[in-house]
Amino acid sequence: MAKLPAQFRFITRIRFPEVYFLSVDNADPSPTFLARFHNNKPPVKARSAVKPRRFEVVDKVTEKEGILLSANTVRWITVSQAKVETGWHKDGRGGTFGTCLVEKQKSGWVVLYYAIRGVS
């Protein structure tokens, strides 16, 4: 679980929504995990903060549009490297899914690459 913040931080650098929502194994991440992003701009919230709509990803409270980032499967390669099945979804017209290779370095977990396997 420690490597997932690196993956989310990497993806947040390449997308520019007003809010991010995180999903880990199709559920809300733990409060401890979310606390790692407490100073993030734009803000990062749990998946359950998304207002149910057919295609849009919208904050329940602010009505701001966002992006849902997900991490579902972690395959360990070594004790310091893993592949994470991940994706993002913005609306009915935008999203990708793929694999991040993450590695634990002195500074923490770092994304070495993100290989896109599909686009919606």
Query: What is residue 77's predicted lDDT score, i.e. its pLDDT?
Result: 96
Q: What is the mean pLDDT of residues 91-97?
A: 77
| pLDDT over 70, % of the chain | 85
The predicted-structure confidence for 31-85, as pLDDT tens digits, reads as follows 998 998 899 888 999 999 999 777 788 999 999 989 999 998 889 999 999 999 9
- Return d(Cα 56, Cα 68) in angstroms, integer: 10
How many domains, in total, are found in the chain? 1
Tokens read off for 68: 């849902």
Q: What is the mean pLDDT of residues 17-32?
A: 92
- For 96, the domain range is 4-119
Collapse the DSSP code of 43 into the 3-class scheme (helix H, G, I; strand E, B; otherwise coil) and give the result.
Answer: coil
Residue 63 and residue 69 in contact, taking contact as beta carbons nearer than 8 Å: no
- Return d(Cα 86, Cα 100) in angstroms, integer: 7
Query: What is residue 80's predicted lDDT score, i.e. its pLDDT?
Result: 94
Which pTM value belongs to this model?
0.76
Secondary structure E strands in 31-107: 44-46, 50-51, 58-59, 66-78, 81-91, 94-105
